[in-house]
Structure 1
Amino acid sequence: MTALLELTDLHVYYGNIAAVRGLSLRVEPGEIVTLIGSNGAGKSTTLRTISGLQRPRRGAISFQGKRIDTLPTHDIVRLGIAHAPEGRQIFAKMSVRENLELGGFLRDDTEGLAADHESMLELFPRLRERLDQKAGTMSGGEQQMLAVASALMARPVLLLLDEPSMGLAPVLVELIFDTIARIREQGTTVLLVEQNARAALAVADRAYVLESGVLRLSDDAATLAADPAITQAYLGG
């Protein structure tokens, strides 16, 4: 059976430095799959390569059975992959409304865009209160909500989420992960990069563990969460 997303023997370099070495993974439709590992493990590079922001030196990336590793980013978005990158990369000087509109800029279904705009405000009620506020004046948690909502405005089949809980208070971390579960319930498959490994494993179906760009382990998320070695190495003992 063809996976929704498949990476095969992926090698990615920055100059002469190998960031990802021989990575193979699969994401099936309807899953939440997480990549965990320490800083510099190659997690964000993997997402950037899937979305076309970085090119692999070797290997293949297939989405719905089609090779995408040579396509430009806008074509990858059109195929159904959206990327909410690390660091809440929103348009700070534009309003919340304008950021959401830009999220769907490749779409031409006016009615569908209006419906999805309303869906985002239902998913993130705090954004409704700030529609005309400049995005850069919002709190970190609100900016993260906007980054995710803007990516979802592309109506993706697959959402790439990079460190969505970074820098957030615990109560907002819980909200973000509850929202990730709801996104999957609404039909979007999620590939999640997250340093909060405990929270990521709690919401994910399966997990891949990266170390220095190399895949070390992969299993059901619940199995890895119960593994003492994983607990010691990635979950704080």
Structure 2
Amino acid sequence: MTGATGPMLTLNDIHVYYGNIAAVKGVTIDVNEGEIVTLIGSNGAGKSTTLRTISGLLKPRKGNVTFLGRRIDGINAHDIVGLGIAQSPEGRRIFPKMTVSENLDLGAFLRKDKAEIAADKERMLELFPRLRERIAQKAGTMSGGEQQMLAVARALMARPKLLLLDEPSMGLAPVLVDLIFDTIKRIREQGTTVLLVEQNALAALGIADRAYVLESGTLKLAGSAAELRQDDDIVKAYLGG
């Protein structure tokens, strides 16, 4: 599903530092339109740093990031949202004192199309029926799983072309993990490309088209998700096999 112009998103040899410490060292990644691509690796591998670089929260010291044929490294984070990239951050940073409804409205803050915003909000409540039951509740009083659903739904309210998901299954009960991953598949079916950072590698490889394995800030492996699931070394190292 890629256009003739190449991948939707390209990270080309990016190096990202915290102070003097290199967190990401020369990572190159492509995401094509219509794909679910996952970044897997242990804690501290550089997965979240990579996402934060795409969304403009961090600037690479070397290398570049291209989205839809345009360089976006060096652009402010809120302008990157305007270009069509939305991130649901690690740790479900929702607004706890606001209701579910208000949180969803905030996800659409850059948009002016009132009727379509209302239609998208309804679509989110169909995607996450649990949120409809909680629509007037303050977000901070909900369970972790419900807050995670809200964080994803809020990001989708920006109607992104590319959705960045940072550890969506973190701290969730297994039944909710399944629900979140089923929902990610549905999000892609509805036309949104997804880049997923996930420690639950097995679940991520179960829904992804392709995967990149990061280790200590460098790219160790890349391939189809199905192939990596069959790779004994990967299973031992990352999938708890």
In structure 2, which of residues 99, 102, 108 is the aligned counterpart of residue 98 of structure 1?
A: 102
Distance in 2 (CA, whole Å) between partners of 1:235 and 1:77 is 33
Aligned pairs, how many?
Answer: 237
2:123 maps to 1:137: no
Q: Does 1:165 align with 2:169?
A: yes
Cα deviation for residue 2 of structure 1 reads 1.6
CA distance in 2, matches of 1:184, 1:171: 21
**Alpha-carbon distance, 1:74 to partner:** 1.0
Match of 1:177 among 155, 176, 181: 181
Answering whether residue 40 of structure 2 is matched by residue 16 of structure 1, we say no
Report the CA distance between 1:111 and its aligned residue: 1.0
**Unaligned stretches of 5+ residues in structure 2:** none
2:69 is aligned to 65
Q: Secondary structure at the match of 2:194?
A: strand
Question: Cα RMSD (Å) of the superposition?
Answer: 0.5
Superposition TM-score, scaled by structure 1 size: 0.99
For residue 84 of structure 1, what is the aligned residue in structure 2?
88
Partner of 1:212: 216
Percent of residue pairs bearing the same amino acid type:
73
The 2-side partners of 1:55 and 1:93 are apart by 31
Q: Counterpart of 2:130?
A: 126
* Partner residue in 1 for 2:234: 230
Please report how far the alpha carbon of residue 22 of structure 1 lies from its aligned counterpart in structure 2 after TM superposition. 0.2
Q: Using the alignment, how far apart are the partners of 2:206 and 2:101 within structure 1?
A: 32
Match of 1:150, SS? helix
The runs of at least 4 aligned residues of structure 1 exceeding 2 Å deviation read: none
Q: How far apart are 1:166 and its partner, in Å? A: 0.3
In the superposition, the TM-score normalised over structure 2's length comes to: 0.98
Q: Structure 1 regions of 5+ residues with no counterpart?
A: none
- Per the TM alignment, residue 160 of structure 1 is displaced from its structure 2 partner at its CA by 0.1
Residue of structure 2 equivalent to 1:221: 225
* 1:75 corresponding residue in structure 2: 79
**1:192 is the counterpart of 2:206:** no
Partners in 2 of 1:165 and 1:95 — Cα distance? 22
